[in-house]
Amino acid sequence: MTTWTVIDEQAVHTVEAGETLTVDPALLGWQRKPEGLCRDEVCIPVPAGVATGPMDAALLARLLGRPLVVDVAERVAAFGASAAERADALRSGLAPDFALPDVDGVVHRLSDYRGRKVVLYAYASW
Amino acid sequence: MWQALHTELGAEGLTVITVAIDDSLDAARPWVRLAGATHPSLVDTEHRFADLYHCVNVPTVLWVDEEGRIVRPQDVHYVSTEYASVTRFHPRKPIAALRAWVRGEAPAYEGSVAGDTKVPTETDQEARAAFAVAWWLHQHDRAEAAERWFVRAGELAPHDFTIRRGSMPIRGIDPAGPAFFQMVADWAAKGNAYYLPLPDTATSPDDFDVEPVEQFTMEQLQARIESQRDAADRAGHGD
């Protein structure tokens, strides 16, 4: 077995797998059921012949519509967010909530400012 | 300047939240101190905000109303005239529009917010995943492997300067030096724009007639950036 680091957006997991990365869908919040991979009310069919338990990471990413980047030599992989999910969220009109630290390390959520008009200004020191 | 607007319009219901897309709290802190900021001054080291809002360059602004709805899409927004003679972005119209919205004198946006909101492609999201791998490798002192993924992320999303320019300090490249200017020149030579502003408050030549800005050369610009860095450095050491 080989130890992999699997990044799922902000979560970082350690996964034991072989030379090819396999990931249990439960790690990403999806449960294997007779209907397929399910989360809340949504189920995604799984091709016939795919065993329960950990599955090929590339197949899992494809089924979920999420990008997957794998550095085989470094044993590091990242599942990104689905473009469709991001697009739907942005077009829904509701500002996606986030939690980020200020320069003193105090965490603020955008939703803390509900009831105020907010200007979100992105900049950088570069 | 954002601090001034936060102070001016705070009693009328506005909160300014700034998000520095920087690689550490330390990188952002001197600039926040220099600005004397009392508004929330956040730092997005992992590009969480950039991912959620498909933010591909700075400086940008979007407006959120009291119910948490985006009422004006993300847009390029320089708030001061400081670099206006070089960037050709004048803040006159955007700031007037902001005041009018906060005071209830004008709608936030005349166009379609959903229609004018830029959203990511699958390749853009693959670039973010590549950046996530690069960032993790960087944090675990695997610089060579990290470099490969920073470069790969930039190749996947060549229009994403939060990745291409934002990763420069991590990679030991001066983000306001020759590599940056060459990157922008190459990008423009292929017929691309470095910024894509919304039409309604986009700068027009007459803005510069109404409110003239200080003119300076590229050499003066670089000297100015150096002097600002020094000032930020002093502010950062002053606490």
**Residue where a domain terminates, one of B182, B206, B224:** B182
Are residue B233 and residue B168 in the same domain, yes or no? no
Instruction: Please tell me whether residue A75 adopts helix, strand or coil conformation.
Output: coil
Same domain membership, residue B72 and residue B44: yes
Give B-chain residues touching A102 at CB under 8 angstroms.
Answer: 40-43
Q: What is the separation of C-alpha B192 from the centre of its chain, rounded to a whole number of angstroms?
A: 18
Provide the mean pLDDT of chain B: 93
Q: Which residue has the tokens 């360059």?
A: B57
pLDDT of residue A27: 98
Decide if B215 is inside a domain: yes
Q: What CATH number did the domain enclosing B219 receive?
A: 3.40.30.10
Residues B156 and B83 in one domain: no
Q: Are B54 and B45 in contact (CB under 8 A)?
A: no
Residue B173 and residue B221 in one domain: no
Instruction: Round to whole Å and give the CA distance between B139 and A112.
Output: 30
Q: Which residues of A touch B137 (CB under 8 A)?
A: 71, 74, 76
| Among the listed residues B78, B229, B138, B192, the one whose alpha carbon sits nearest the alpha carbon of residue A125 | B229
pLDDT on residue B238: 57
Residues of chain B in contact with residue A83, where contact means CB-CB under 8 angstroms, are 119-122, 124-125
Asked whether the beta carbons of residue B63 and residue A119 sit closer than 8 angstroms, the reply is: yes
- The boundaries of the domain holding residue B80 are 2-118+198-237
Distance, CA of B183 to CA of B73 (rounded, Å) = 27
Q: State the average pLDDT for chain A.
A: 97
- Whether residues B113 and B170 share a domain: the answer is no
SS3 A99: strand
Residues B50 and B159 in one domain: no
- Whether residue B29 sits in one domain with residue B7: yes
Residues B74, B114: one domain? yes
Q: Do residue B61 and residue B161 come from a single domain?
A: no
Whether residue A122 and residue B46 make contact (CB cut-off 8 A), yes or no, is: no
How many CB atoms lie under 10 A from the CB of residue A29? 12
Residues B203 and B142 in one domain: no
pTM: 0.94
Looking at the structure, tell me whether residues B68 and B172 fall in a common domain.
no
Residues B89 and B9 in one domain: yes
Helix (H, G, I), strand (E, B) or coil at A29: coil
State how many domains chain B has: 2
Containing H/E element for A69?
strand A68-71
pLDDT digits (tens, 9 = 90+) for A61-72: 999 999 999 999
Q: Is residue B177 part of a domain?
A: yes
Q: What ipTM does the predicted assembly reach?
A: 0.97
